[in-house]
């Protein structure tokens, strides 16, 4: 187990105080990463999965934005309170982690780095690979932050496969050609960027009202609800797809079923 007091003192050597004395808005959790087996969708993953769940958008005491490219539609349909997230204890834990990140990002990232290294060591010993999703309910570039703040190039951890959804098309371009599997999330206000990603051979997720079409806007649609790490398997397929992208189709859930913004696609046109 990580000695958090020692970690805090190492990362904040000038405080001269215990972390508890300067962090009244949050408690330091035992683990930042949650096991994917506790989530209905990630439990179907082909790889053991670990996810970082935070409070999305501006649901924190500082009003800081954790989903900078969110649209009106995706905000209304946010799955923050879906599944286990609807339970108060789970929601409170996600808010607590967010307060921790915002109040002391250096210590937060230091703990995250240690957890990733520990998982990597464990799975190397097993001769297996684990999947890591650092944005379960947020949209931040933790790969960049880990390298900048902790000197950890997470993509070099041999037993870990990183994947995420994002609405940041700059991040999709930044990590193209790396082992970080990113799926661009289509919304009512970014279809032009989504089509650009697809034309450049990327993966785009899109939410549909009911049954999934086989083709949308000329691109093949794959069932993204089969498992959360479906994008990892699809990336393997993309290498032989002649440079054409693929859509991860998701069925509308929860409040998304009532969407009227265009975030949820209702036009099921099988156009080639």
pLDDT for the residue numbered 240: 63
Residue 35: what are its φ and ψ, rounded to 5°?
A: -75, 135
Nearest one of 150, 151, 153, 205 to 175, comparing CA atoms:
153
Under a CB-based contact definition with an 8 Å cutoff, are residues 41 and 228 in contact?
yes
CA-CA-CA-CA dihedral for 198, 201, 203, 207, to nearest 10: 20
Distances in Å between the alpha carbon of 199 and those of 8, 33, 202, 242? 46, 34, 7, 11
pLDDT for the residue numbered 34: 94
Task: Report the distance separating Cα 137 and Cα 151, nearest Å.
Answer: 25
Q: Examine residue 243 and state whether it is found in any structural domain, yes or no.
A: yes
Under a CB-based contact definition with an 8 Å cutoff, are residues 150 and 109 in contact?
yes
pLDDT by residue for the chain (272 residues), tens digit each? 455 555 655 555 444 444 444 545 899 999 999 998 777 667 788 899 999 999 999 889 999 999 999 998 888 877 554 444 445 788 899 999 999 999 999 999 999 999 999 999 999 999 999 999 999 999 999 999 999 999 999 999 999 999 999 999 999 999 999 999 999 999 999 999 999 999 999 999 999 998 899 999 999 999 999 888 889 988 777 766 667 899 999 998 888 888 889 999 987 544 43
pTM of the predicted structure, to 2 decimals: 0.85
Query: 17, exposed or middle or buried, with CB in 10 Å at 0-12, 13-18, 19+?
Result: exposed
Task: Report the distance separating Cα 69 and Cα 256, nearest Å.
Answer: 18
Q: Examine residue 272 and state whether it is found in any structural domain, yes or no.
A: no
Nearest one of 36, 40, 53 to 135, comparing CA atoms:
53
Residue 246: what are its φ and ψ, rounded to 5°?
A: -135, 145
Q: Examine residue 271 and state whether it is found in any structural domain, yes or no.
A: no
Task: Report the distance separating Cα 175 and Cα 180, nearest Å.
Answer: 6
Q: Is 166 helix (H, G, I), strand (E, B) or coil?
A: strand
Q: Examine residue 118 and state whether it is found in any structural domain, yes or no.
A: yes
pLDDT for the residue numbered 4: 55
Domain residue limits at 226: 4-265
Under a CB-based contact definition with an 8 Å cutoff, are residues 106 and 112 in contact?
no
Looking up tokens 């958008």, which residue turns up? Answer: 57
Count of domains forming the chain: 1
Distances in Å between the alpha carbon of 3 and those of 107, 115, 148, 204? 12, 12, 23, 40
Tokens matching residue 26: 């949050």
Q: Examine residue 17 and state whether it is found in any structural domain, yes or no.
A: yes
Nearest one of 204, 136, 131 to 172, comparing CA atoms:
204
């Amino acid at each position: 187990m990580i000695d958090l007091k020692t970690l805090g003192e190492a990362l904040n050597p000038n405080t001269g105080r215990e972390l508890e004395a300067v962090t009244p808005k949050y408690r330091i959790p035992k683990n930042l990463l949650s096991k994917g087996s506790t989530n209905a969708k990630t439990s179907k993953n082909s790889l053991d999965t670990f996810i970082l769940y935070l409070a999305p958008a501006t649901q924190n005491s500082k009003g800081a934005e954790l989903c900078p490219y969110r649209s009106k539609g995706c905000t209304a349909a946010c799955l923050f309170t879906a599944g286990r997230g609807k339970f108060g204890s789970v929601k409170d834990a996600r808010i607590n982690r967010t307060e921790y990140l915002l109040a002391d990002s250096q210590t937060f990232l230091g703990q995250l780095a240690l957890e990733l290294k520990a998982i990597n060591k464990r799975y190397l010993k097993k001769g297996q690979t684990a999947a890591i999703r650092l944005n379960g309910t947020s949209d931040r570039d933790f790969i960049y932050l880990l390298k900048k703040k902790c000197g950890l190039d997470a993509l070099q951890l041999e037993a870990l496969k990183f994947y995420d959804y994002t609405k940041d098309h700059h991040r999709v371009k930044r990590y193209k050609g790396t082992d970080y599997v990113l799926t661009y999330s289509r919304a009512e206000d970014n279809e032009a960027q989504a089509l650009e990603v697809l034309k450049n051979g990327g993966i785009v997720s899109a939410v549909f009202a009911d049954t999934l079409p086989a083709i949308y806007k000329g691109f093949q649609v794959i069932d993204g609800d089969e498992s959360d790490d479906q994008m990892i398997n699809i990336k393997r397929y993309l290498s032989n797809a002649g440079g054409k992208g693929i859509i991860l189709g998701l069925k509308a859930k929860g409040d998304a079923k009532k969407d009227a913004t265009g975030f949820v696609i209702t036009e099921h046109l099988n156009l080639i």
